[in-house]
Chains A and B, each alone.
Chain A
Amino acid sequence: MTRLSRFRAALFVSSVLAAAAPAALSQELSIGLSTPITSLDPHFHNLSPNNSLADHIFGQLVRMDENQNLRPGLAESWKAVDETTWEFKLRKGVKWHDGSDFTAEDVIATLKRVPNVPNSPASFAIYTRSVKEAIAVDALTLRMKTERPHPLLPNDLVAVRIIPKKVAETAKTEDFNSGKAMIGTGPYKFAEYVAGDRVVLVANDKYWGPQPAFAKVRYKMITNSAARVAALLAGDVQMIEAVPTADIAQLKKDARVSLASVVSNRIIYLHMDSAREKNSPFITDKAGKPLEANPFRDARVRKAVSKLIDRDAIVSHIMEGQAQPAGQLLPEHFFGTSKRLKADKYDPDGAKKLLAEAGYPEGFGITLHTPNNRYINDEKVAQAVAQFLTRGGIPTKVESMPSGVFFSRGSKLEFSFLLAGWGAETGETSSPLRSLLATFNPQQGMGAANRGRFSDAGLDAVLQTALTTIDDTKRGMMLAAASEKAIGELMGLVPLHYEVSTWATRKGIAYKARADQYTYAFEVRQSK
Chain B
Amino acid sequence: MTVFILRRLAQTLLVLFVTSALVFGGIFLVGDPVEMLVNPAADQEEKLRAAAALGLDRPVLEQYAIFIKGTLSGDLGRSFVFGRPALEVILERMPATLELAFLAMLMSVGLGIPLGMYAGLYPDKKTSKAIMAASILGFSLPTFWVGLLLIMVFAVQLGWLPSTGRGPSEYVFGLSISILSIEGLKYAFLPALNLALFKLSLIIRLTRAQVREQALLDYIRFARAKGLPRSRVIGVHLLKNILIPLVTVIGLELGSVIAFAIVTESIFAWPGMGKLVIDSIFQLDRPVVVAYLLVVVFMFIMINLVVDILYSALDPRVRIAEAK
A interface residues with partner B (beta carbon < 8 Å): 14, 17, 36, 38-39, 41, 44-47, 118-123, 125-126, 129, 173-174, 177, 194-198, 220-224, 226-227, 230-231, 233-236, 373, 402-409, 411, 422-423, 425-426, 431, 435, 442, 445-446, 448-449
Which chain A residue lies CB-closest to B284?
A: A404
Asked whether A123 lies within 8 Å of B84 as measured between CB atoms, the reply is: no
Which chain B residue lies CB-closest to A444?
A: B43
B residues 42-83 near A (Cβ < 8 Å) are 42-47, 49-50, 53-54, 78, 80-83
For B25-36 the 0/1 string (1 means CB < 8 A from A) is: 000001111011
CA distance A409 to B279 in the complex (A): 20
| B71, chain A: closest CB distance, angstroms | 19
For B152-165 the 0/1 string (1 means CB < 8 A from A) is: 10011001001111
Asked whether B269 lies within 8 Å of A227 as measured between CB atoms, the reply is: yes
Contacts of A448 in B (CB 8 A): 42-44, 47
Asked whether B151 lies within 8 Å of A230 as measured between CB atoms, the reply is: yes
Interface size class of B (residues with CB under 8 A): 35 or more
Which chain B residue lies CB-closest to A172?
A: B83
Contacts of B80 in A (CB 8 A): 121
CA distance A122 to B38 in the complex (A): 4
CA distance A405 to B28 in the complex (A): 10
Asked whether A234 lies within 8 Å of B156 as measured between CB atoms, the reply is: yes
CA distance A301 to B152 in the complex (A): 50
Contacts of B123 in A (CB 8 A): none
CA distance A291 to B205 in the complex (A): 59
Contacts of A46 in B (CB 8 A): 38-39, 42
**Count: A-B pairs, CB below 8 Å:** 171
Contacts of A449 in B (CB 8 A): 40
CA distance A194 to B169 in the complex (A): 11
Contacts of A402 in B (CB 8 A): 282
10 pairs of A and B residues whose beta carbons are closest in the complex: A445-B43, A408-B31, A197-B271, A442-B44, A121-B37, A407-B35, A234-B155, A234-B163, A46-B39, A408-B32
Contacts of A222 in B (CB 8 A): 164-165, 269
| A38, chain B: closest CB distance, angstroms | 5
Asked whether A126 lies within 8 Å of B83 as measured between CB atoms, the reply is: no
Which chain B residue lies CB-closest to A33?
A: B269
Which chain B residue lies CB-closest to A412?
A: B32
Q: Is B92 an interface residue (CB 8 A)?
A: yes
Contact residue among A173, A196, A236, A431 (Cβ-Cβ distance under 8 Å from B163): A236
Contacts of B268 in A (CB 8 A): 227
Which chain A residue lies CB-closest to B56?
A: A121
Contact residue among B45, B93, B151, B152 (Cβ-Cβ distance under 8 Å from A196): B93
Q: Is B283 an interface residue (CB 8 A)?
A: yes
Asked whether B36 lies within 8 Å of A404 as measured between CB atoms, the reply is: yes
Contact residue among A223, A231, A403, A446 (Cβ-Cβ distance under 8 Å from B266): A223
Which chain A residue lies CB-closest to B176?
A: A194
Contacts of B239 in A (CB 8 A): none
Asked whether B53 lies within 8 Å of A235 as measured between CB atoms, the reply is: no
Asked whether B164 lies within 8 Å of A126 as measured between CB atoms, the reply is: no
Contacts of A14 in B (CB 8 A): 159
Contacts of A408 in B (CB 8 A): 30-32, 35-36
Asked whether A411 lies within 8 Å of B35 as measured between CB atoms, the reply is: yes
